[in-house]
Amino acid sequence: MRARRGALGRFLLSLFVVGGFAVSGTGAAALPHAGAHVAGAAAVESLGIAGTAWIVDESTGTTHVLADSGVTDADLARLRGLGGAVGVERTGGRLRPLLAGGDGVYSSARRCTAGVNVQADSAYYFVTAGHCTDGLPTWYTTSALTTVIGPSTASSFPGDDFGVVRYADTSVPHPGTIGTVDVTGTATAYVGQSVCRRGAVTGVSCGRVTGLNATINYGNGEIVYGLIQTDICSEPGDSGAPLYAGDKVIGILSGGSGSCAAGGVSYYQPIQEALDAHGLSVY
């Protein structure tokens, strides 16, 4: 489990050490573009521009930045002024955590999507986005808030973006499935992988993993690290939705930009980190 990032400097140090070295059974060797990796990503983050997401191409050391529609021309110029090690591209819409009112799982103020059902011994839970569970202790099956699912028992946001909710009402079903898919385990994402996402608002949408270890600055000091980037669209209310390949769960939806009408980009918290942090397993 990565530590919470209240002290961004300490986190960045550990991030860059991981990003800058390839570890093998015989020790660690510096990647050829480790210096560019550190310099580019650190320079982008130091600007503190909300509405940006970035990811490092390990093969070239180039930092690729997506800037949403809320990034001003002046800030866009600041990003482009970082030089050739940083590439900048506009993305449609706004980068935001994807939550709203409607179907899914409900708190007193938010609607999100239950991700994957998990267990620890005889207790059952579901994993969702941490920006959903943050500060909101009780979840319900409908917007009328009549049938209680149970309380949030853990929340990690920002830094990470996962939360855990316990099934307190035994009458609420919690099968080990994603729709009709029977979950058999978890998997680690890789670039080019074919994946699908099932959200409470948009249903099942499929695409490919386009990057790993992405960072998003949502604004207001809310920066999330280590995300999986995909070309799958999502909408508000899909937050927490599971990303999966076949019968393996890969991640939990954090946020994205664009829409399912015009196309978009979405980002996912790797699932295994959340499970390891709280001793949970899929079933």
What pLDDT digit, counting tens, does each position of 199-234 carry? 999 999 999 999 999 999 999 999 999 999 999 999
- The catalytic residue positions are 131, 161, 239
Reading the block at residue 119, the tokens are 């267990």
Reading the block at residue 147, the tokens are 């049938």
Task: In whole angstroms, give the CA distance from residue 132 to residue 112.
Answer: 7
Q: Is 70 exceeded by the pLDDT of residue 127?
A: yes
Structural domain boundaries of the chain?
A: 8-91
Element (H, E) at 242: strand 242-245
Is the whole model's pTM more than 0.85, yes or no? no
CB-based contact 41:8 (threshold 8 Å): no
pLDDT at 26: 34
Residues of the chain above pLDDT 70, percent: 84
pLDDT at 169: 84
CB-based contact 254:268 (threshold 8 Å): yes
Nearest to 242 by CA among 105, 94, 77, 150: 105
The class of domain 8-91 in CATH terms is alpha beta
Task: In whole angstroms, give the CA distance from residue 42 to residue 13.
Answer: 10
What pLDDT digit, counting tens, does each position of 23-79 carry? 333 333 333 444 445 578 999 999 999 999 999 988 888 999 999 999 999 999 999
Q: Is 80 exceeded by the pLDDT of residue 98?
A: no
Residue with tokens 């510096």: 30
Q: What are phi and psi of 180, to 5 degrees?
A: -95, 0
Q: What is the mean pLDDT of the chain?
A: 85
Pairing state of beta strands 185-186 and 248-259? parallel
Task: In whole angstroms, give the CA distance from residue 110 to residue 152.
Answer: 13
Task: In whole angstroms, give the CA distance from residue 64 to residue 84.
Answer: 10
The stretch 165-176 carries a mean pLDDT of 91
Task: In whole angstroms, give the CA distance from residue 224 to residue 217.
Answer: 7
